[in-house]
């Protein structure tokens, strides 16, 4: 993006945010040039661009005024999944997404990988190097089934920020949040049972349900406030739901933070229908807001919430260090942990514990929040600029994932196949539905480096989407004419 495009983007953001209202006079070219340290001609180019986009209108001898603007894409509305428990499909698509992960030529716009390039990660290497030099045989040995105690102590300490009063004994270390979710699901459900999930929801959770023969009832979910509690209540009344899996903080894929009142209401519902809540907080630490949002676990008085998380999104996924606070399901969770992997790799647990203990975690998280928030501003600018009209885009409140909804008839699976030649890969929406809905949606990772290569990819993606939308409209027209 050039300088003038950036400025145009910034101005359109301000218009969107209501800082400049419809009909209001915009700052003069000279004022803006001074304010932003750019040349007069850059400002003029920016204004021209906004004029072309019909966001502003020139008034001879008076400057520029805010017009009825090309608005920021709206957020996606409440989703409408199937109203009955279904068996999960889509494994082949998940496998395809995972397989392309290893192709370094392909830009992984669809991945859930955090930015691993920040200097605040450096102490982690130092700690690991020192550990190797010490040659402590204990690091080569199995540690406790519940995990390294130094790690569990630090996890308990960090959990205070999310409102939880946990002790090290309340925590079981796992091989990533993936294992935490998997053993939690198996601890509270048997094959044939029904679990309620947000729709869309993380494909890993969904595939776990499939693997254990558990059916999912997908609950309509709003991209701003989260799971519809009204729909959940109806589902509870109609089906014997054993547990609810939710990602209430920086939801994957929608990015919302569930308001506290709704968290309370969800817990009350679970109590009323005596269901467990499996709370996936893996992106929770990456919320923009400070202090970070509370977990449902922090409100839990009767141990029915199993809080699952990891250091995969905040530090590094390759460490596979996760954890679960299983509440009253501890015994079953321990058994499931034992049969799943025996115990968790020892060294990575010690490395993470030491990283947190030495005080590197706070500064790192603060930096990552800033990085992702800045990235989001730029990415959403790019999406607005390069994508066609008629799309909805989520407004994440943390994390690094963005959800784009295209018109109903759009086929993102086909698009993703076409994108292969461009060496771009997105996560298609159908991965996030039990029954393959949301084929018209995409999930993008804005944690990727902000550079020309990424911008070019978004531009190419936007163009491909535009082309596919045109083709799709033509097909619809054709189909309509055939029917008539």
Minimum separation from the CB atom of position 425 to a second copy (A) = 15
Minimum separation from the CB atom of position 175 to a second copy (A) = 4
Minimum separation from the CB atom of position 434 to a second copy (A) = 14
**242 or 395: CB nearest a second copy:** 242
Minimum separation from the CB atom of position 195 to a second copy (A) = 14
**230 or 331: CB nearest a second copy:** 331
Compute φ and ψ for 128, nearest 5 degrees.
-70, -40
**284 or 348: CB nearest a second copy:** 348
Minimum separation from the CB atom of position 37 to a second copy (A) = 33
Residue with tokens 């894929």: 253
Compute φ and ψ for 86, nearest 5 degrees.
-130, 160
CA 480 to CA 375: how far, in whole Å? 42
**139 or 383: CB nearest a second copy:** 139
**266 or 315: CB nearest a second copy:** 315
Minimum separation from the CB atom of position 140 to a second copy (A) = 3
**Chain residues in the site for a second copy (CB under 8 A):** 91, 94-95, 98-99, 101-102, 113, 116-117, 121-122, 124-126, 128-129, 131-133, 135, 137-145, 175-176, 178-179, 182, 186, 190-191, 204, 207-208, 210-213, 315-320, 334-336, 338-348
Minimum separation from the CB atom of position 475 to a second copy (A) = 34
Minimum separation from the CB atom of position 261 to a second copy (A) = 33
Residue with tokens 């709003």: 222
**133 or 261: CB nearest a second copy:** 133
Q: Which residues are CB-neighbours of 17 under 8 A, at least 6 positions away?
A: none
Minimum separation from the CB atom of position 62 to a second copy (A) = 53
**96 or 377: CB nearest a second copy:** 96
Cβ proximity of 307 and 155 under 8 Å: no
**179 or 222: CB nearest a second copy:** 179
**114 or 248: CB nearest a second copy:** 114
């Amino acid at each position: 993006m050039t300088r003038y495009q950036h400025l145009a983007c910034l101005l359109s953001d301000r218009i969107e945010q209501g800082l400049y209202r419809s009909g209001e006079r915009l700052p003069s070219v000279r004022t803006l040039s001074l304010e932003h340290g750019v040349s007069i001609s850059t400002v003029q180019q920016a204004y021209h661009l906004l004029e072309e986009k019909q966001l502003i209108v020139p008034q001879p001898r008076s400057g520029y005024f805010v017009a009825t603007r090309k608005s920021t894409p709206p957020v996606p509305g409440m989703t409408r999944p199937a109203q009955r428990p279904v068996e999960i499909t889509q494994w082949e698509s998940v496998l395809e997404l995972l397989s392309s992960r290893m192709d370094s030529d392909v830009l992984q716009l669809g991945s859930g990988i955090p930015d691993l390039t920040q200097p605040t990660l450096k102490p982690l290497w130092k700690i690991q190097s020192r550990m190797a030099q010490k040659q402590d045989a204990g690091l080569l040995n199995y540690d406790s089934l519940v995990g390294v105690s130094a790690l569990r102590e630090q996890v308990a300490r960090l959990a205070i920020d999310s409102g939880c009063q946990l002790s090290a004994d309340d925590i079981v270390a796992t091989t990533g949040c993936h294992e935490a979710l998997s053993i939690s699901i198996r601890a509270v459900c048997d094959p044939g049972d029904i679990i309620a999930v947000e729709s869309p929801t993380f494909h890993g959770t969904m595939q776990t349900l499939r693997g254990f023969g558990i059916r999912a009832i997908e609950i309509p979910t709003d991209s701003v406030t989260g799971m519809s509690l009204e729909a959940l209540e109806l589902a509870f009344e109609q089906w014997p739901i054993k547990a609810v899996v939710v990602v209430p903080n920086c939801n994957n894929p929608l990015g919302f933070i569930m308001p506290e009142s709704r968290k309370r209401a969800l817990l009350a519902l679970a109590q009323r229908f005596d269901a467990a809540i499996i709370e996936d907080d893996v992106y929770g630490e990456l919320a923009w807001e400070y202090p970070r949002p509370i977990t449902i676990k922090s409100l839990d008085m009767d141990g029915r919430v199993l809080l699952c998380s990891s250091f995969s999104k905040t530090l590094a996924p390759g460490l596979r260090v996760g954890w679960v606070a299983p509440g009253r399901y501890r015994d079953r969770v321990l058994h499931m942990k034992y049969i799943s992997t025996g115990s968790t790799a020892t060294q990575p647990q010690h490395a993470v514990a030491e990283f947190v203990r030495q005080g590197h975690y706070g500064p790192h998280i603060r930096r990552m929040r800033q990085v992702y928030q800045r990235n989001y501003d730029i990415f959403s600018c790019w999406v607005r600029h390069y994508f066609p009209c008629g799309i909805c885009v989520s407004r994440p409140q943390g994390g690094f994932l963005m959800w784009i909804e295209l018109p109903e008839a759009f086929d993102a699976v086909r698009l993703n196949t076409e994108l292969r030649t461009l060496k771009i890969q997105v996560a298609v929406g159908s991965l996030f539905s039990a029954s393959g809905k949301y084929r018209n949606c995409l999930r993008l990772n804005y944690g990727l480096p902000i550079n020309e290569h990424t911008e070019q990819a978004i531009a190419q993606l936007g163009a491909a989407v535009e082309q596919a939308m045109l083709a799709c409209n033509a097909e619809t027209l054709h189909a309509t004419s055939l029917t008539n």
